[in-house]
Structures are given as C-alpha cells and as structure tokens.
Chain A
Amino acid sequence: MQYQFQFNSVLAESGFIMQGILLTIYLSIGSIILGSIIAILFSALRANGPRWVGGLVDVYVELLRNTPFLVQLFIIFFGLPSIGIRLTADQAALLAMTLNLAAYSTEIIRAGVDSIHRSQIEAGLSLAMTKRQIFQHVIIVPAIAKVWPALSSQFVLMLLASSICSFISVQELSGVTAIIEQRTFRSFESYIVATLLYLVLALTLKVGLLGLGRLIFPRVSGLSRVQVKGEAA
C-alpha cells in the first residue's frame, strides 16, 4: 500500500465546500424547525382531535416511517411534476426532509405525551381548563422534555440523511464533495474531508441541542423525580 494522500487539490475548493456546508445546515435547521412544528400540531390532533383525524395522522406517520427516504425524495422531485407541482431540487429536499422528520418526531412526541401521568390531566380539568388548554399548557412541554434526547438524536440522523439529497443534484455537502471528486480525481481525500465535516456538524448539532434542551426545559431532571414521587404516593 503506497497511496500518497494529496489534500491540496481538494482543499483548494474550500469555498465550494463551504457552500455545501451552508446548504446542509440550512436544510437541517429548516427541516428541524418545520418538522417539529408539524409534529407538535399532529400530536395535538392525535390527542384531542376527532378520531378520524387521529387516524389520518397515524396513517401518515406509518407511511413515512416505513418507506425509504430516497423514495420519498424521488416521489417529491420526480413524481410531483407529473401533477403540475414543480419544485427546485433544494425545495424538494427541504420538503422531503421536513415531512420525513415530522413523521418520526410525531411518533417520538407521542411517547412523551403518553408518559404524562393521568393525574396531571385531572389537575387541569379540575381547574376548568379545556382539553386544548391542557395539552398546550400542561402536557406538551413536559412531554417534549421527557423525549428530548430521543428527539435530538432523530434531528442528528436527519442531518446525516440530508446527504441523500445529493441524488437529486442538491449541492449540499455530499453533493459538492461528489463534484470535487470528479474534478480532482481525489476520491479518498474528498470523502475524508466530507466525513470530518459531517462529524463536526453532527457533534455541533448534538451539543447545541443539549444546550437548547437545558435552556427550554430547565426542569428536565426534576421532572423524572417528581414523577417517581407522584407514583409512589
């Protein structure tokens, strides 16, 4: 084995790589924000909406969670134009990632909602709150706090899965890496650089989400303790 690593030609494309990184960040943060909003709405519908609406949410969640992300992406980018919906590659990527993440997040948040003790709901009812108010003020925050670690790792998985969007020519980090590889013929070097950058992105997101969790849910550790006490009583 006498391979000579030569990173120079790859690193000469750093401006292009940076564009790819920015697009990866944009797609990830965008889908996390939009996907979370949808997931919270879906969770609310499943908890309080009419039964058939809850059923539709279930169908959506299972449909998206049991088909490959690549196929979902292709349907949106190559399929939708047939019915007149034309999206740019970047738009299709953001939409596919948002819908996919919404499905997984809905399922994770459902676990959190289910974990809220019945007595919390009774407390809300006894204070004359409506079911919607109970969901909004009593249930959802502790529910998300409880599943925040699971939710965070799902967000990181989505960041990594964004690389699949290069299949429809989206120039995010994997997309630009493929182009650089073709320009420089330095496959190993190109993907080593991409690997390290993904690692940095994923770890940064992970740490960021941990910090965000501490900020939004200062009582996360306290929640579990109260729960144990309540159940012992």
Chain B
Amino acid sequence: MSAVHIENVHKSFGKLEVLKGVSLTVEAGQVVAIIGRSGSGKSTLLRCINGLETIQSGRIEVVGHTVTYTDEKLRALRKDVGIVFQSYNLFPHLTVGQNIMLAPRITKGVPKEEARAQAEKVLAQVGLSEKFDVYPDNLSGGQQQRVAIARSLAMQPKVMLFDEVTSALDPELTGEVLLVMEELARGGMTMLLVTHEMNFARSVADFTVFMHQGKVWEMGPSEELFSHPKTPELAAFVKSTLK
C-alpha cells in the first residue's frame, strides 16, 4: 500500500479553484519534491494532506488514514503525519525541550522521562543537543527550523511534509536545514516537500512533481525531469530558476 495516495482532488478558496483534479501517489520511503510557481497550488496540496485545508472533492489517503474532517479522525491522521512550516511556528513561551516534549506528552500520553529521552534523541538528530533549555528567540532561523523538524520527528510520524521550509532563511542557514532533511531522507523517511531549492529537489528527491495552474503538469524521476522537461511550461520554469 502506498504511503500517500491522492486521487482527483479539487480545492477552492471561494470562487478561486486552486487544485483542479490533482492525483499523486507516493510510496513508503520515497522523497517527492513539489515545485512550481507561486499560486500553482503546491502549498495548498501539501496542507490538504494533513487536513489543514479541506478539499471539496476527491480522496486523500495517508498511511491508512482517509482524510476525513472530524476532529478525532484528523488527530489520528496528524499523529502519523508531521509538517514543518516556512515560519517555523515554534511556541515562543516554551524552551526547545518543552516545544519538543509537549505534543507527545499531551496527545500520546508519553511519560515524562520517555518524552525527554525521545526529545534528546531527535534534537541530537538535528545537531542541536546543547540547545535543550534555550528559548526559540535565542536561536537563529536555521536553528529554529531544525528544532521545528525535531518537534515533528518526536511524534514519530510515518510521513513528513515540508512546506517551503527554507524560504525564510538566508543561503547560509538554508544549507544546515537541507542537510538535516537529506539525512532524514537517507534514513528512509517518506517525505513530501514543497521547495524552491531546485538543486536539492534534483539531488535528493526520488521524484519531482511540477505543478502548474492547479494541476500536476509533469512528474517523473527528478534527474530526468530537470534535464529533459517535456512540457514548455516546465522548461521555462527550470530555465527561470537557473538564473
């Protein structure tokens, strides 16, 4: 069974249709990059996968959960699907450690000691062990984003979504975040990432999806997609991002 299965999904904001029949399948362990211009619907698609946006028609299945809009079903889904946002969204009044331990403790009832051990483990994974008791606003953007990744990982998700996670970072900090993600990919995590980092998509993602005008315009193995775009739209997009 595939990890993520999206079938003919339509999504509108009012009269504006942003997803016009999107279908996409991601197998467990795959890394899939979603690229495209602003407004092509790629972030919306990602947010539909964990139910942050509701779809009007179609079907989304994620690791055994059919996306259904009741509080209970959504919570069950979100325990298995982590998401990392562009703006980090760490809780400013909690330390790094507390940020990471909060959700496992209150949503899964993980005992304190265990949550702490788990937090230390994921923090080490993103290379920030020494920041356990630091507040988010004392960290750089890149460090905050790595903590946000760790916070998601502490829930032991089966799928991770990344929504333009490096777009708010300068190039130097972008590198450290991408490194963490590459590490995760190598560890076998199923990942969907909306990104503007074409080199990262090309080198790390197994497949790349090019979205255009609310549709999957073109998709394929990353290397092939970037070197031999079939549609003129993708060719133009790839060319424009190389500048």
Contact = CB atoms under 8 A, between A and B. Distances in A.
A71 interface: no
Interface string A193-233: 00000000000000000000000011100110111011011
Given A128-B107, A128-B155, A122 B52 contact: yes
A178 interface: no
B75 interface: yes
Contact of B93 (A131, A217, A229, A233): A217
Interface residues of B, number: 34
Contact of A127 (B76, B93, B136, B151): B151
B143 to A, nearest CB: 13
B89 A122 contact: yes
Contacts of A120: 89, 91
A219 B155 contact: no
A137 B92 CA distance: 11
Interface residues of A, number: 29
Nearest to A227: B92
Contacts of A40: none
From B74, B85, B152, B167, residue with most partner A Cβ within 10 Å: B85
Contacts, number: 83
Given A225-B137, A226-B137, A233-B168, A127 B92 contact: no
A141 B151 CA distance: 20
A142 to B, nearest CB: 5
A223 to B, nearest CB: 5
A142 B93 contact: yes
Interface in A112-164: 119-120, 122-123, 125-131, 133, 137-138, 141-142, 145
Interface of A: 119-120, 122-123, 125-131, 133, 137-138, 141-142, 145, 217-219, 222-223, 225-227, 229-230, 232-233
Given A122-B85, A233-B167, 4 more contacts: A128-B75, A129-B107, A142-B93, A230-B89
8 contacts: A119-B85, A120-B91, A122-B89, A126-B50, A129-B107, A137-B91, A142-B91, A219-B137
